[in-house]
Amino acid sequence: MKPVFMRYTKNDIINFIVLLVLGFLVIPNVIKSDYWYTSILIPWLCLTIAALGQNIVMGYTGQLSLGAAGFMCAGAYACYNLMLRIQDMPFLGALILSGLIAAGLGIIFGLPSLRIRGIYLMVATLASQFFIVWVVDKFGWFKNYDLSGATTFQKIDINGIPFHSGYMMYLLVAAIVVVITILAINMARGSTGRNWMAVRDMDIAAESMGVTLLKTKLQAFAINAFLCGIAGALYTYTYLKTVEPFAAFNISLSFKIMFMAIIGGLGTISGAFIGAAFILLFPVVLNAVGNNLFHGMIDATIISSIEQIVFGGLIITLMIFEPLGFAKLWETIKSKFRPKSQTS
């Protein structure tokens, strides 16, 4: 298919418009319950941003990383302190700055990736996870010396417009997601993305073709951390609101975000959306089924165990049968229904 505008095909633009109409016209008019906004749509969109970052570093660049929650923590507390300590700090400005701060950390913790890969790199990124959360938790300054150990994040106001209700916060987060997704698609489809994928497929070969490993890998780590930082800030400001660093940004959040990237589809943008939706919604559905069909006869332990077994089993199954995840499965199903002549 020929690109119509820059790197976009006609289908891309149609998809894009459909999603925009869905996100900004249909959902705000159809969904009235606050529960949907505050407990499902907002965390989904926030974690999608983090999953996008994880996908860039893991799916596009092929660097195993397990530190997403650490960078999210950095982003959240950077934003908190910027808002707290600088007078008249606009929220969006603070958000971008906190993403940049997280990106700086991402570069530092991405440095080992120049020499190592695979599980070695994963262990190195685990350091970022444990270290960043520890620093934020132990140095009272970050939490503004709150004696309770938890932090209550400020309410969001942009140009005097309050973004306090679930509905308004949803619109804000959705708009940010749109901007980030467009940027991510542009990077992934441009020379940046091609360099990432070259490094993923064979770094030594890529290097001999003139791709600078240093720049490419650190760029991927920086963008990953930038997105995780923004995701962390949005996640705390619009969803958690009150946070205790060790409890909110633990290793299992990092695992979850990694699973979103894997299950959704490594090396795809839409995979981040699908993966985040699946990981987030599956427990909700499972709980609902447990409560409504079996009327609480299944206790919570069993439900959370089933969740773990399904996630783990799904990862194994996907690794064996479809390493490109749900996004690829979706493509396959779509192409089955498409008239033969149109399949590209």
Partner 1 sequence: MTESILFFFEVLVGGLLSGTMYSLVALGFVLIYKASATFNFAQGAMVFFAVLSFVGFMEYGIPFAVAFVMTVFLMILVGMLTERLVLRPLMNQSEDTVLMATIGLGFVLEGLAQAKWGVEVRKLSLGIGDFPIPWIADNLKLFISALDLTAGAVALGMIVLLTLLFKYTKIGLGLRAVADDPGAASSIGIPLKHIMLLVWSAAGVVALVAGMMWGARAGVQFALIELALKALPVLIIGGFSSIPGAIVGGLLVGAVEKILEVYIGPFFKGGIEAWAPYMISILFLLYRPEGLFGEKIIRRV
Interaction site with partner 1 (CB under 8 A): 62, 64, 111-112, 115-116, 118-120, 122-124, 126-127, 130-131, 134, 137-139, 202, 204-205, 208, 251, 255, 258, 262, 301-302, 304-316, 319-320, 323
Query: Terminus-to-terminus CA distance in the chain, angstroms?
Result: 7
Q: How far is the CB of 304 from partner 1 (least distance, A)?
A: 7
Is the Cβ of residue 4 or residue 116 nearer to partner 1 in the bound state? 116
Contacts of 5 (CB under 8 A, 6+ apart): 13
Q: How far is the CB of 203 from partner 1 (least distance, A)?
A: 9
Identify the helix (H) or strand (E) that includes residue 162: strand 161-163
The span from the CA of 120 to the CA of 123, in Å, is 5
Nearest to 229 by CA among 74, 64, 48: 74
Q: How far is the CB of 264 from partner 1 (least distance, A)?
A: 13
Q: How far is the CB of 3 from partner 1 (least distance, A)?
A: 32
The two structure tokens encoding residue 146 = 């709150």
Q: How far is the CB of 80 from partner 1 (least distance, A)?
A: 20
Hey, which residues does 224 pair with through a beta bridge?
none
Is the Cβ of residue 117 or residue 194 nearer to partner 1 in the bound state? 117
The span from the CA of 63 to the CA of 26, in Å, is 38
Is the Cβ of residue 179 or residue 204 nearer to partner 1 in the bound state? 204
Identify the helix (H) or strand (E) that includes residue 111: none
The span from the CA of 13 to the CA of 175, in Å, is 17
Q: Are 218 and 107 a contacting pair, CB within 8 Å? A: yes
Are β-strands 8-9 and 161-163 bridged in parallel, bridged antiparallel, or unpaired? unpaired
Is the Cβ of residue 123 or residue 182 nearer to partner 1 in the bound state? 123
Is the Cβ of residue 36 or residue 130 nearer to partner 1 in the bound state? 130
Q: Are 79 and 193 a contacting pair, CB within 8 Å? A: no
Is the Cβ of residue 36 or residue 255 nearer to partner 1 in the bound state? 255
Q: How far is the CB of 110 from partner 1 (least distance, A)?
A: 12
The two structure tokens encoding residue 159 = 């140009």
Is the Cβ of residue 4 or residue 150 nearer to partner 1 in the bound state? 150
Is the Cβ of residue 35 or residue 139 nearer to partner 1 in the bound state? 139
Q: How far is the CB of 118 from partner 1 (least distance, A)?
A: 6
Q: Is 149 helix (H, G, I), strand (E, B) or coil?
A: coil
Contacts of 106 (CB under 8 A, 6+ apart): 71, 221, 222, 223, 224, 225, 226, 228
Residue 203 phi/psi, 5-degree rounding, is -65, -35
The span from the CA of 137 to the CA of 144, in Å, is 11
Hey, which residues does 79 pair with through a beta bridge?
none
Q: How far is the CB of 81 from partner 1 (least distance, A)?
A: 19
Is the Cβ of residue 112 or residue 232 nearer to partner 1 in the bound state? 112
Q: How far is the CB of 291 from partner 1 (least distance, A)?
A: 18
